[in-house]
Every structure is written in structure tokens, then in C-alpha cells.
């Protein structure tokens, strides 16, 4: 995201409906959000990737071009908002697939420029942090945020909107990525998260001993490893067992137990790290965001472990997965605070999380 630059449009923001656009990965989405919340949300999930077992960047960009206009028209119609009533435009500027991001960014720039509207480039993961508050008005800072998606795994302390302290992150695979890769290894469909969850429901999580990476119990709160996570070794452990089973023809029978064991290990690590953050900060309010927040085992166990003195805010499935309502929510807030992106706003695959600092205290 570009801060207000020399060529930033000197356009004021009058509070009103904000149009949000999201095209960072394989969901094409448009939404209208105003002070009452979500007026409309349209999402087209691209099925074309399933045959490839993962997102194909070129296909994603092409599908966004094909669907974005229709998603915007759909959202505007559902919101009952005329073009002249839109007060600003927010678009995911990163992180994500650059070709996919470019479709949304260029579309939003053209739309805002043509209508003299203020534009804001939004960080996708900050969007996931705001998404939950659209459904739970109490899910606002201060809170501990656990963002678990296909591309990122972040544990942070939100002190205020726009002021975040990074506690930990994954050192290799994102949690969702591990679900997707393990699913693929077990012969399950893409996206893997829901498939693993389904397979795990009939499985015995204790049958296979799987590691809980980065949970040694010897960690010190001052060490990075206290909050950091790693899922690559766990993924490899599952792959090794799968290979053995495949060799003797017993993989199919073992899939539910392997899925359950893997899911339990990921959930154990995520919960342990989150509870460490709760303990160290004294903040017992936790906000979940990102596609893996749909996982029912994670939601149930985390809620139980937080107990009655804590509060877990989790998004509904529609708002956990990529959507433009969360992008519009960030844009509305930042536009109202006087922020603008310039007309030179660009898509950035590795965009830095705005306001996220690594200070230990």
C-alpha cells in the first residue's frame, strides 16, 4: 500500500458506502460496506483450479478478469446502492499472486479515477483481521489475533486498528498450505482444509504419533521460537507414513486417522501459541481470521481452552474465506482517517503489513 503521496488524489471522503474489491488469490469478490455493516457481498470461487490440485496463477488472473464486472454489478444491485452513492473504493493491493492482484488494482483505480472517488490499497491480512468485526461488533482491539490462511500464519497483538505487534509467524508453510499439501498427499481434493476436516471426523487422532513442532516446553517468552510456528516437518511426517502405507496398500484405510492426527497436531500448536500470547499479554480476547478459521476443531478447542474468562471471536465460513467485505471494512476505516492511495498504487506480492512492528514490548 502506498501512503498518501505527492500525486495522491486530493479527494475528501464523505462517509458513505465503500466498494471493496478482492482478487488476491482464487476468489473474485466485490462488496459494499457502510456504517451499518455489510450491505452486499458477492463471491465467485474459482473451481478451475481443483483439477490441478492447487491455484494456477495464470488461470486465477484470467478468471478474475472474467468475473469481476459481474461481481461488482451483483453487489451493487443487492446493496441497492447507485453508482453515485459510492463514497470510496478499497482494493486488495497485496500480498498475493501478482497477476491476480493486478486485475483488482487496475479495475479499482480505473473506477475510482473515472468517478473522482478516493481509493485505498488494502493489505489482505489486515482485511482478515477486520472481517470478524463485521459480524462481531465486540471483536475490536485490544485483542490477540490469530490469522491462519493459505499463505500466512500470524500471531499478533492488536493494540488499536492499525497498530499491531507481531508475536509469531510460521517459519515455513502456512497452516492452510500444510492442510492443502497433506490433503493432496492423502489423495484428497483441493482445497484440502475442508477435506481433511471431513476425513478426520471419522478418524482416531491418537493412532499415529505425529510431532508438535516448536512446542518444546523449554521455550522462553524472550525467544522468537516461543511464538513462532513450523508446519513443514509435520507435513513430512505425514508424508512418510503415507508412503509406507502406500507401499503395503493400506493407505486408504489409514486416511481418516492420518487426517485426524494431522489436524489435531496443527490445532494443538496453534492453540498453544495463542494461549502463550494470552498469558503473556493478559489479553484474553482472541480474534480468529483466515480460511483455516473455518476449522471446527480449532474453533471448538480454542474456545474451550480460553474458558469462561476469555472470549473467542471467529468469523462465519463466508467471512473466514477471502471476501471483499473485509477489504471494504479496512478501506472505510482508513479512508475516514484521511488516508489515500495515489493513482500510482500498484500490486505488491509481498506487501508489508501496515502498522505491524516486531518490538518485544
Residues of the shown chain interacting with ligand KG4 in the complex, contacts defined by CB under 6 A: 25, 149-151, 176-177, 179-180, 191-194, 197, 290-292, 294-295, 321-322
Q: How many residues bind Zn ion (CB under 5 A)?
A: 2
Please tell me the distance from the alpha carbon of residue 118 to that of residue 89, in angstroms, as a whole number. Answer: 6
Taking the complex as a whole, how short is the minimal distance between the CB of residue 26 and ligand KG4, in angstroms? 8
In the bound state, the residue with its beta carbon closest to Zn ion is 149
Q: Nearest 5°: CA angle at 275, between 274 and 278?
A: 95
Among Zn ion, ligand KG4, none, partner that 197 touches (CB below 5 to 8 angstroms by kind): ligand KG4
Candidates 69, 84, 64; CA nearest to 16 is 84
Contact 155, 274 (CB under 8 A): yes
Q: Which of 322, 330, 339, 348 binds Zn ion (CB under 5 A)?
A: 322
Residue 117 CB, nearest distance to ligand KG4 (Å)?
26
Binder of residue 341, out of Zn ion, ligand KG4, none (CB less than 5 to 8 A by kind) = none
Shortest reach from residue 232's CB to ligand KG4, in Å: 15
Shortest distance, CB of residue 322 to Zn ion, whole angstroms?
Answer: 4
DSSP H helical ranges for the chain: 57-79, 98-115, 124-135, 175-185, 192-200, 232-247, 251-281, 296-306, 317-320, 324-336
| Shorter beta-carbon distance to ligand KG4: residue 88 or 176 | 176
Which residues make Cβ contacts (< 8 Å) with residue 90, sequence separation at least 6?
Answer: 18, 19, 20, 21, 108, 119, 120, 121, 122, 327, 328, 330, 331, 332, 334, 335
* From ligand KG4, Zn ion, none, interface partner of 191 (C-beta below 5 to 8 A by class): ligand KG4
Distance between alpha carbon 161 and the CA centroid of its chain, in Å?
17
Q: Given the rule CB under 5 A, which of 55-63, 205-213, 245-253, 316-324 is the region that contacts Zn ion?
A: 316-324
Strands 37-45 and 18-22: unpaired
How many angstroms separate the CA atoms of 4 and 199, rounded? 48
Binding map of Zn ion across residues 207-246, x = CB under 5 A, - = no contact: ----------------------------------------
Residue 6 CA to residue 10 CA, distance in Å, equals: 10
Tell me which of Zn ion, ligand KG4, none is bound by residue 94, counting a contact when its beta carbon lies within the kind-specific cut-off of 5 to 8 angstroms. Answer: none
C-beta closer to Zn ion: residue 13 or 231? 231
Binding mask 148-177 vs Zn ion (x if CB under 5 A, - otherwise)? -x----------------------------
Q: From the CB of 290, what's the least distance to Zn ion, in Å?
A: 6
CB of 174 to ligand KG4, least distance (A): 7
* CA–CA dist 26, 49 (Å, integer): 8
CA nearest neighbour of 324 among 3, 15, 13, 64:
64
How far apart are CB 112 and ligand KG4 at their closest, in Å?
Answer: 24
List contacts with Zn ion (CB under 5 A). Answer: 149, 322
Amino acid at each position: 500500500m502506498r501512503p498518501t503521496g505527492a500525486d495522491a488524489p486530493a479527494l475528501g471522503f464523505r462517509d458513505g458506502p465503500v466498494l471493496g474489491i478482492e482478487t488476491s488469490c482464487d476468489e473474485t469478490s466485490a462488496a459494499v460496506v457502510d456504517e451499518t455493516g455489510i450491505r452486499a457481498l458477492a463471491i465467485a470461487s474459482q473451481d478451475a483450479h481443483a483439477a490441478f490440485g492447487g491455484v494456477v496463477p495464470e488461470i486465477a488472473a484470467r478468471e478474475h478478469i472474467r468475473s469481476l464486472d459481474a461481481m461488482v454489478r451483483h453487489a451493487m444491485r443487492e446493496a441497492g446502492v447507485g453508482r453515485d452513492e459510492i463514497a470510496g473504493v478499497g482494493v486488495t493491493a497485496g500480498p498475493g499472486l501478482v497477476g491476480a492482484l493486478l486485475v483488482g488494482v487496475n479495475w479499482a483505480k480505473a473506477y475510482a479515477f473515472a468517478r473522482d472517488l478516493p481509493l485505498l490499497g488494502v493489505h489482505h491480512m489486515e482485511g482478515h483481521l477486520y472481517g470478524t468485526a463485521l459480524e462481531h461488533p465486540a471483536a475490536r482491539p485490544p485483542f490477540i489475533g490469530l490469522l491462519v490462511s493459505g499463505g500466512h500464519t500470524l500471531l499478533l497483538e492488536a493494540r488499536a486498528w492499525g497498530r499491531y505487534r507481531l508475536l509469531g509467524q510460521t517459519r515455513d508453510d502456512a497452516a492452510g498450505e500444510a492442510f492443502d499439501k497433506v490433503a493432496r498427499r492423502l489423495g484428497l481434493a483441493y482445497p484440502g482444509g475442508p477435506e481433511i476436516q471431513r476425513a478426520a471426523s471419522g478418524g482416531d487422532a491418537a493412532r499415529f504419533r505425529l510431532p508438535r513442532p516448536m512446542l518444546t516446553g523449554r521455550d522462553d517468552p524472550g525467544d522468537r521460537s516461543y511464538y513462532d510456528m513450523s508446519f513443514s516437518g509435520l507435513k513430512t511426517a505425514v508424508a512418510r507414513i503415507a508412503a509406507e502405507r502406500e507401499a503395503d496398500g493400506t493407505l486408504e484405510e489409514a486416511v481418516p486417522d492420518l487426517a485426524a492426527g494431522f489436524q489435531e497436531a496443527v490445532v494443538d500448536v496453534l492453540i498453544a501459541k495463542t494461549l502463550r500470547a494470552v498469558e503473556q499479554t493478559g489479553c484474553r480476547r482472541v480474534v480468529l481470521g483466515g480460511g483455516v478459521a473455518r476449522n471446527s476443531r480449532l474453533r471448538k478447542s480454542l474456545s474451550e481452552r480460553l474458558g469462561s474468562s476469555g472470549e473467542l471471536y471467529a468469523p462465519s465460513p463466508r467471512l473466514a474465506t477471502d471476501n471483499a467485505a473485509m477489504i471494504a471494512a479496512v478501506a472505510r476505516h482508513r479512508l475516514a482517517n484521511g488516508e489515500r492511495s495515489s493513482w500510482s498504487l500498484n500490486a505488491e506480492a509481498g506487501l508489508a503489513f501496515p502498522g505491524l512492528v516486531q518490538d518485544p514490548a
